[in-house]
A and B are shown apart, each in its own frame.
Chain A
Amino acid sequence: MKRESIFCIFLAICLTFLVLSSGCTEQQPAAQKGEIKIGVVASMTGPASTTGKDIWQSAELAAEEINARGGVYVKDLGRSIPIHLVQGDDESTREGGQKAVSKLITQDNVDLLVGGYSSAVVSAHQAIVAEYKVPYIISGGSSTSVSHRTDIDTSYMFFHRPNTDDSGEASVMFINEVIRPSINSKFGFSADRKLRMAVIYQDSPFGKGQLDAVKNLIKTENLPIEVVAEEPFKMGESDFRTVLTSVKSKNPDIIYAVTFLNELVPMTQQARRDVGLNTLILSIENNDDPDYYKGVGSYGDAQVMESRFSPYAVPKGSTEEATRQFLSNFDKKYGGFAGMMGAATYESVYVAAEAIEKAGSLEKAKIRDALANLAMPQMMEIMKGGIISFSPDFHESKFDLYVVQLAIDPASGEPRPTIVWPENLKAKEFMLPDWYTPGST
């Protein structure tokens, strides 16, 4: 009996120690270790690995620049401390994202998260972020089904990207204001002729979000655009020949492609080369990446893309210097240019640093509050009102978006973009290429 009692007391002491020590670990701010830990959620492997690498390298560059200036001043500590990045590879899958984010939060004890690309992947790990209440600056996950969801607490999530409604609106307005009149004028169609648009979209929240946004806008604004085909495809698809054959049979004037860049490259090539579909393909901003221009080659000539950061088409104005500096620094460090997702993540790390400085603390609730009230001057991407801030309802930042058109650069043999819309940013007029064939009248 006596031995049992001693064992029980020993067990109780051990358990008490364990409970207390685990509590201490959870509450111990990373700042006591003299650094700010930022978890970077990026697809380092799997189908989206090209973009993932871009995200990670850009975050690394931002952290390095901030640390070179002495780090981030934290008022509670009375000193500046450096940023330490921790990589979380979501493997381009939902499950991979859940594992990566769980590890970043529970094992690496990060103070904040940045990154995230695919809407499907981000939506799968949002619940973990909500449960642990870690501030998360998401530079991807553009579907409104990710940022407007109400089934979980999204109060710690901040979206530094346009949502599918925003990019859909910019794309459709460009199509209606520029492409439709160009086609009608060049081919002698009546001015009220409806433009025939086929939508080929990734069967994911991102793709469906874009499709819904485009259809809703056409309906609510009563635009003279007819969606003649809606063709979904699986994420990571590389064979679009049959889908394009089906689209060709519908005689579209334009294809609205909602893809990742590893999907857009074969789609564009197969459309022109294999299926003989001599029509325009309008793609979405996430494809504005040097790897797209390199991969698509001559088949990208004259194609159009909605964008907010282009490595080869820098808008004139207040963001020009910062953009050129970023591109130059990135080129020096890694060789080559970053794409749009890289730029967004680079800015996100700066946004995180600004929020921590404003919060004066590494307490997650205070960082969240600082992010909610943030009003930071724009950096490279052109923001509405020139300020990076998050909307009170869904914590989304608002961008001035533009459209680029590609043309072959004889020196590199690759297409290069030039801004053709809107009026205040355009560097040249949109041109219908000679090879273009409109859909049926």
Chain B
Amino acid sequence: MDGSIGILSQVAFWGLYSGCIYILLATGLNLIFGVMKIVNFAHGEFLMLGTYVTFFLFVISGFNPYVLLICSIPVLIVVGIIVERLCFRPILGTGKLNEIFISLGLIYIFQNMVAMIWTDEWRSIKSPFSDITISLGPLQLPLDYLIIITVTILILVAFYLFLQKTALGRAIRAASQNRKGAMLMGINVEKMDMLTFGIGAGLAGAAGTLWAVSGQVFNPYMGSIPAIKGFAIIILGGLGSIPGAIVGGLAIGMVENFTAYTLGGSWKDAVSFILLIVVLVIRPTGLFGEAEE
């Protein structure tokens, strides 16, 4: 292994990019868990839908795919709201088993629906900036990845400001911290559930758009693996903790890429999950999680 600073920095850059996709996915997942305490295994399917919405709009409009974020996020917010109203609202509080089976059912429904509409061929789109690379010393930084990292940061900042500075954001935080207390304070928690699920799906949709723009291939079955990683990240970072999702996403992105560099690509998932186990053994609530009372 050639461990020069240039190569290690390049690997870290790829880790940062992977981390961005994971962060957006895990942040949405954690937001939903924080407020509704439900486990949605179909969250990866929102990412997959995000890629297809981007692909579809890109093909019919020819717009810059980054601009399509302003379409894919709202579309996925609406999809999230519909899923929450039709699927999760009726079974809320009836037991984890129902949630698990509903979400497993949703995986098949979304996968088959997308395969029916767009077939199950592998797809990809080409960003208009795909041939532009910025050289920074020994580093080769493709412009697309710099934009993806920047867009992720902007989305996270906007999300932070929304949660901290708006009444709606404060209401979501209140519902997340103490559901009964929030209800007693006059907050419509069912509305917060709906909104939370929508935002979570919207963040996954943004991850899907960025996935597609980066030139990664996608097909209707591509959501499962990122979803598993998303769950690993929120457990690593701490269930319900947004900073945990960010740190966890970055950690998994970095560990995966440095493992691929040192031990080979076939080890990257194994080492990520070893990290998860080690963290849970040392700190069972995850990096930023709080012990339940």
Chain A residues with CB under 8 Å of chain B are 45-47, 49-50, 53, 203, 231-234, 236-243, 245-246, 249-250, 261-262, 265-266, 269-270, 273-276, 291, 295, 297
Contact = CB atoms under 8 A, between A and B. Distances in A.
A231 B7 contact: no
Contact of A45 (B120, B131, B215, B264): B120
Q: Which 8 A/B pairs are nearest by Cβ-Cβ distance? A: A233-B265, A203-B266, A249-B2, A242-B260, A232-B266, A241-B14, A242-B257, A262-B122
Interface of B: 1-2, 4, 7, 10-11, 14-15, 17-18, 120-122, 124, 126, 130-131, 133, 140, 142, 145, 215-217, 219, 221-222, 225, 257-258, 260-261, 264-266, 268-269
Nearest to A232: B266
Contacts of B121: 50, 291
Contact of B122 (A237, A245, A265, A274): A265
A273 B215 contact: yes
A249 B1 CA distance: 8
Nearest to A275: B140
Contacts of B269: 234
A53 B216 CA distance: 22
A295 B120 contact: no
B217 A49 contact: no
B264 A231 contact: yes
B10 A262 contact: no
Given A231-B264, A242-B15, 13 more contacts: A47-B219, A203-B264, A232-B265, A233-B266, A239-B18, A240-B265, A243-B260, A243-B261, A243-B265, A245-B261, A274-B140, A291-B122, A297-B126
Nearest to B21: A239
A239 B216 contact: yes
B120 A49 contact: yes
30 contacts: A45-B221, A46-B221, A232-B264, A232-B266, A233-B260, A233-B266, A237-B265, A238-B217, A238-B222, A239-B14, A241-B14, A242-B14, A242-B15, A242-B258, A242-B265, A243-B260, A243-B265, A245-B14, A245-B261, A246-B1, A265-B217, A269-B124, A269-B215, A273-B131, A273-B215, A274-B140, A274-B145, A276-B133, A295-B122, A295-B124
A91 B121 CA distance: 14
A423 B36 CA distance: 68
Given A265-B217, A266-B215, A231 B265 contact: yes
Contacts of A265: 122, 124, 217
A245 B7 contact: yes
A270 B269 CA distance: 20
A266 B120 CA distance: 17
Contacts of B15: 242
A233 to B, nearest CB: 4
User: Which of A50, A232, A245 lies at the interface centre, i.e. has the most chain B CB atoms within 10 A of its CB?
Assistant: A245
Given A242-B260, A243-B260, A266-B217, A234 B124 contact: no
A133 to B, nearest CB: 34
Contact of B215 (A49, A246, A249, A270): A270
A49 B14 contact: no
Interface of B is mostly: mixed
A261 B123 CA distance: 12
A246 B260 contact: yes
Nearest to A246: B261
A234 B18 CA distance: 16
A249 B7 contact: yes
B220 to A, nearest CB: 9
User: Which of B18, B217, B266 lies at the interface centre, i.e. has the most chain A CB atoms within 10 A of its CB?
Assistant: B266
Contact of A273 (B4, B122, B142): B142
Contacts of A53: 120
B279 to A, nearest CB: 22
Given A242-B11, A291-B122, A47 B216 contact: no
A249 B140 CA distance: 13
A277 to B, nearest CB: 10
Contacts of A232: 264-266
Contacts of A233: 260, 264-266
Nearest to B140: A276
A232 B259 CA distance: 12
A249 to B, nearest CB: 4
Contact of B216 (A50, A238, A250, A291): A238
Given A46-B221, A239-B18, A273-B130, A234 B265 contact: yes
A403 B136 CA distance: 38
A176 B63 CA distance: 46
B161 to A, nearest CB: 31
Nearest to B216: A238
Contact of B266 (A234, A246, A250): A234
Nearest to A262: B122
A225 to B, nearest CB: 21
B221 A49 contact: yes
A237 B18 CA distance: 13
Contacts of A275: 140
Contacts of B264: 203, 231-233, 243
Nearest to A91: B221
